Structure 1
Amino acid sequence: MKRFLRNEEGVTLVELLAALALLGIVILLISNAHLFGQKQFVSQSEQIENESNVRYAMNVITKEVRRAETVTVSSDVLKTNAHEFELRGNRIFKDQSVLVENIEMFSVQKNNEKITITIKSMPNEFEKASTLTTDLYIRE
């Protein structure tokens, strides 16, 4: 045992290269796991934001329709006695101000006393689009 502790030969070049190669592989695996987690976080954050935008727009529009005395629909433009909602580009506008962004589709259809509203978010590269549809019945 004492002879082993007194061995002062040092580390050979082959041992050093082997240790560096193993260390490099371990660091590569750890960094790949970290980058994968980072991409997942960004993807899920975008998906949550898109879903939140769709829910918020739907809540605002349905509240406004329920409060309104008159509601008219013409070519996916919803007009109440107080406000107007329409899709321009990828944004839903309430009158002249932006209500929400990253919207792919805003569809409004009126059949007698039934109004069907559909809002679909833009898909990102990892997740599919979020879609909400609601039916509102107008009582007179």
Structure 2
Amino acid sequence: MQIRFLGELKKKVTNKAHVEASICQAYLQQEISTFSSFYFERDVITRRKRPARNDDIGEDLYENVVSIFNYLGRGKGAATQRYILGGELQIAHTYILMNCPEISPFYHEFRASLSAFPENEIDALVDSDFVNWYKYQ
């Protein structure tokens, strides 16, 4: 533990003739800046109060957007393109609609209209037919 700490201080050595004194000076500067950072105003960004690297709190959220698309964050890595194969589009539509609170009343209405079917068939019908049913509502 102490070796890592000394390694950080050794990087700050400016006077090679008096290494020990230079390390002490770097340590004192670090301690003074840390101590004084407690007394700065709240809006002053210091090393201790710096926001996280990927913190997106400052970004504005869009108005009039379905809640599932209104989360803070950003993509990871470079953008890639690919074609949606087979039933992936249907699965994606179903996933989005099932996880959107604004669509919940329609989902309950659709399930109520299928109350004559057994529970396992209702789940299969929701997966296959809910998107098309919702599209025409």
Is the TM value for this pair above 0.5?
no
Q: Per residue, is there more strand in 1 or in 2?
A: 1
Q: Per residue, is there more helix in 1 or in 2?
A: 2
Higher relative contact order (CA closer than 8 Å, sequence separation 6+): 1
Task: Please report the TM-score for the alignment, with normalisation by the length of structure 1.
Answer: 0.28
Task: Please report the TM-score for the alignment, with normalisation by the length of structure 2.
Answer: 0.28
